[in-house]
Chain A
Amino acid sequence: MERLILLLGEGRCETMLLERCLDEGLLVFTRKDLLDQRPIHARQITPEIIVLLNTLKRGEQVVIYRVGDTQKDELDLKAVSERVFSVRTFCTKPEIEILIIINEGLLKEYSNLSASHRLMPKEFVRSRIRDYDFETALNRVQDIGGLLKEYRRVKKHRSKKEEYLADLLR
């Protein structure tokens, strides 16, 4: 049986990125494969998600795809354990703005910052891009798929539990 995917975007930016990927048909799944046919902005299982899961047929389970940056907090599945088949984690470490840094050609400059001057990606893009906001910066990205692949290429460390968003590309 094909299971629906509960696609969790941990922040507003992740959710926006996932919406764009879905709109462009870049992913191995489409909206029809998703619970409520959309990425849901949530860090944890919310009452809204419980309502949506309870609307499924008895015994039907979902696979959770959790997309976020560091994802340090455990996903608490107590309330929905019977509804969840498995959880996959997709990271955009250290922050999703690393994608904007790559897209704007600032990765070298960012990487060359000495440890004492190292900023988080969000702070860095704010210092380099006038009136930065994620939505505008994301709209400037021409090739989202290429950007996600490039992030996977340059990212050096990853935990075995974590996957890349590029792994979800068609």
Chain B
Amino acid sequence: MKILKITVSGYKMLAPGFTINFLTKTRIDPEQNNEDLFAIKSGFYLPKEYAFIGRNSSGKSTVLSLVKLCFSILQSGRAYLEKGVKEGAHLDLTVLFYDEGLLKRYEVHYHAPAVRGETISYYKIDDEDYQVGELRPFYKKDLSDAAFHKERAFKKRSGGLEDTSSLPSFVKDPFPGMIDAGGYYTHFTDLLEWIYRSSHPAALQKKLERVSEKIFNLLDEGIVSLKPGQGDHTFIYTRKNQTPLCLGLAELDALLSEGTKTGYALYASAVLSFFFGWTMLVDEIERNFNKNLVENIIIMFNDKRLNPKGATLVFSTHYSEILDLFARNDNIDVLHKENDVITLANVSEDYEQRVELSKSKAFNNNTFDTLLNYDKLMDLKTEIWSD
């Protein structure tokens, strides 16, 4: 399942009608090296990486949390409420996605309820619509002219009630199709459990364990092996020239360095994405990692030997140099926040650039208006030095 386009109104500070279009926006030359693209069908391509850039507090995390929410809705049929949403607030969402050879469109209108559960609460549905169609080669690149028909099997829910007994799942894949490499989903111990303890087919299980060991060895050369132990939640952990230790998850978590654990979360999430063709979300990809490690992750997503199923890396970053690894411009969106309204512009569609200028140079020249505001900076400085 691939999300192609999201349009939203009422989500945090995003401008009404805020739209993210993940599809390529420029012509694709089949003669060129297009390893950074995943061909969906009939001339429609998704870049294997998609970046959001912008100043601090420009809305990058908001956009990634929206993408995560959309995956969750398509998977579970309901939208969880995030902190701070006011009672009665409306959320209108349209998601275009490609699944099982069909183009699908889910439109939903929610409002936030007054009574919230103690753990997790959900929006109430006012109205919804689910349609399917073919992805035709003559459609516009942004699919604004795509035609759909009603999905007959779909029973619409409405009236502000949430019937949890018949939650529809819009995707058949039992997994969410998304991995949040910066969030709770990929907490180090969760990932270990998922890789070592899930009931994967035997061949896949062996493969995952071997790859997992290589990741540990890449991040910490002293780690020789990590294998599942006999007891529940135990692992046999072996370091170079040391006796193997049988450790519980919590002990292992405490023993390994933060760098190893966060690096593992990033690489293991990437590997799972490669194996299952998932979308990997990472907010501030450079956080906790050195540049070379991040750059190599991006190169790996573009490598068809590693990523034959077209897994996608969707991330935000402040590292302008990372963008130089992109062969394209149309997979970079710039976010701006003005008067508490977040808007989005695409580097290819909305900026004039000198072609000879690298993306990092354009970024550092403030072409995208993403650097510190000079006047505000001087305000701060003068306030500090003034009496």
Which residues of A approach B to under 8 Å, CB–CB?
A: 11-12, 15, 36, 38, 41, 47-48, 51-52, 54-55
Contacts and interface: CB of A to CB of B under 8 A. Distances in A.
B32 A51 contact: no
A55 B291 CA distance: 11
Q: Interface of chain A, helix or strand or loop or mixed?
A: helix
B324 A55 contact: no
Given A41-B33, A51-B292, A54-B292, 9 more contacts: A12-B32, A12-B33, A38-B303, A47-B358, A48-B302, A51-B295, A51-B299, A51-B325, A52-B299
Contacts of A47: 321, 324-325, 358
A38 B325 CA distance: 18
B376 to A, nearest CB: 32
Contacts of B33: 12, 15, 41
A38 B305 contact: yes
Interface in B14-42: 31-33, 35
B325 A48 contact: yes
B296 A51 contact: yes
A55 B218 CA distance: 12
Contacts of B295: 51
A117 to B, nearest CB: 25
A12 B33 CA distance: 6
What are the nearest 3 A-B pairs in CB distance? Answer: A47-B324, A41-B33, A51-B295
B292 A12 contact: no
Contacts of A55: 292, 296
B31 A48 contact: no
B314 to A, nearest CB: 20
Interface in B261-301: 292, 295-296, 299
A12 B31 CA distance: 7
Contacts of A15: 33
